[in-house]
Amino acid sequence: MPFPSQKRVPDIDSGTGRREFLKFLVGSPLLATFGLSPELLGQSNAQLLTNNELITAVGDALNVFDFEALAREKLPPAHWGYLASGVEDDATLRANRDAFKNYHLRPRRLVDVSHVDMSHTLYGDTWESPIFLCPVASQKAFHPEGEIAVARAAKAQKHLQLLSTVTTSPLEDVNAARGMPVWFQLYTQGWEITQSFVRRAEADGCPVLILTVDQLLPSQNSETGFRFKRLDTRNCIECHDPNDGLKNKRMFDGANLQVRNPARDYLTWDLVDKLRGITDMKIVLKGIVTHEDARLCLEHGVDGVIVSNHGGRAQESGWAALDSLPEVVEAIGGKIPVMVDSGFRRGTDIFKALALGATAVGIGRPYVWGLAAFGQEGVERVLEMLRLELKLAMMSTGARTLDDIGPQTIGKF
Ligand SMILES: Cc1cc2nc3c(=O)[nH]c(=O)nc-3n(C[C@H](O)[C@H](O)[C@H](O)COP(=O)(O)O)c2cc1C
């Protein structure tokens, strides 16, 4: 159901705004004035018309942006804004996307690519493809089945799922729906609560603890998010506790909120060492973007890193995740896995990161668009489409396995 009072504001993340602008241009005398045709702008009239129609069935999607358009239509403004927002001017959000344009694939011909194997092994588990589902908070804000629908999709498609501390479904239920324990993402909340989260994740078999280190003050400057919130006229008290915002946040059930410290001002290397002392889970740091911090990860015995700027929603660095990947890869020198996320929307995007040395690539918003649009089916379709696109990129560059993807398979403009 489209949300009736939703007002349109310009898109910030994808092709939709561009498409609307192009459609306007096609019917505008401006085109003739400047001697331009729709074809010169990269799209035919027929494509423009098709692109502007919202899909009505999961099978109609041609790419992940088709789910984005429908998600935007279906979600209440505040929820859409929360999902879409970066911080401040959304410059980092845009930089994440723009960075892919600086690289091209180097197609190879006449290679036998009748068998392409995208499988890879991480910490002893083998996955069908290197694409994983990033931790995204509050998934019931996007679909009533939230994290459970995502877990079922991850199970059906055999993908790795990371679960947020701010899950709206109990961790244990998500693990049951996934059919195996997910990787648990940790936002520290003061030592006492942090320890209880770690114990709970470990008790339910989670093999990996992801400590997110890039967001010190959550959502303080999500300006786009706040603007969308103002358009939302619903009464939100039923779902959001005005005091602490923790209603329906299932990790906090039974937690002693008196000792909570959500400010994360004590998020230092000491905390990493303390975590090492209380858990046998692998520890992965999410949000590492510099070679200095990558080296410190090795010094502190961290088991893996995720190069990430939180999808452009942590701080306005203006620095694309893809562009920070090479220096982290170099500093880590193959000693531990280097994963990456932020801005990945196409199989070719994923391919470029793998060529730059990433072990695996995470997606955040794209699978949530699928979730909002069609629940579990939408998430599954997003994964299928990205896998197919990655396979096509591998075939065109003569890569039969992930090991065949390397610096020789891409070029920089
Ligand atoms: C709505 C939303 C909520 C998120 N919540 C979390 C979270 O709880 N923990 C976390 O580590 N990252 C969180 N992230 C960041 C994602 O894990 C991931 O880094 C990011 O979405 C990747 O960028 P992409 O959305 O462009 O694919 C969130 C991202 C979004 C869009």
Token output for 193: 């609560």
89-103, 181-195, 284-298, 343-357: least confidently modelled range:
181-195
Atom of ligand 1 nearest to the CA of 82: 1
Centroid of ligand 1 to alpha carbon of 308 (angstroms): 9
240 a catalytic residue: no
The answer, yes or no, to whether residue 289 has pLDDT greater than 50, is: yes
pLDDT band, residue 25 (cuts 50/70/90): very low
Query: pLDDT band for position 139 (50/70/90)?
Result: very high
Gap from CA of 284 to ligand 1 centroid (Å): 15
> Between helices 347-355 and 376-396, what is the axis angle to 10°?
60
How buried is 41 (Cβ within 10 angstroms: 0-12 exposed, 13-18 middle, 19+ buried)? middle
CATH code that applies to domain 120-412: 3.20.20.70
What mean pLDDT value characterizes the chain?
Answer: 89
Domain extents for the chain? 120-412
Closest residue (by CA) to atom 30 of ligand 1?
136
**Higher per-residue pLDDT: 151 or 239:** 151
With the most atoms of ligand 1 within 8 angstroms of its CB, the residue from 171, 313, 369, 382 to mutate is 313
CB within 6 Å of ligand 1 — which residues? 82-83, 134-137, 164, 166, 185, 212, 286, 308, 310-311, 341-344, 363-365
Q: How far is the CA of 86 from the centre of ligand 1 (A)?
A: 10
Mutate to test the pocket of ligand 1, among 134, 210, 322, 361 (most ligand atoms within 8 A of CB): 134
Indicate which residue's Cα is closest to atom 1 of ligand 1.
Answer: 83
**Model confidence pLDDT, tens digit, residues 337-371:** 999 999 999 999 999 999 999 999 999 999 999 99
Contact 314, 301 (CB under 8 A): no
Q: Give the phi and the psi of residue 183 in degrees, each rounded to 5.
A: -85, 135
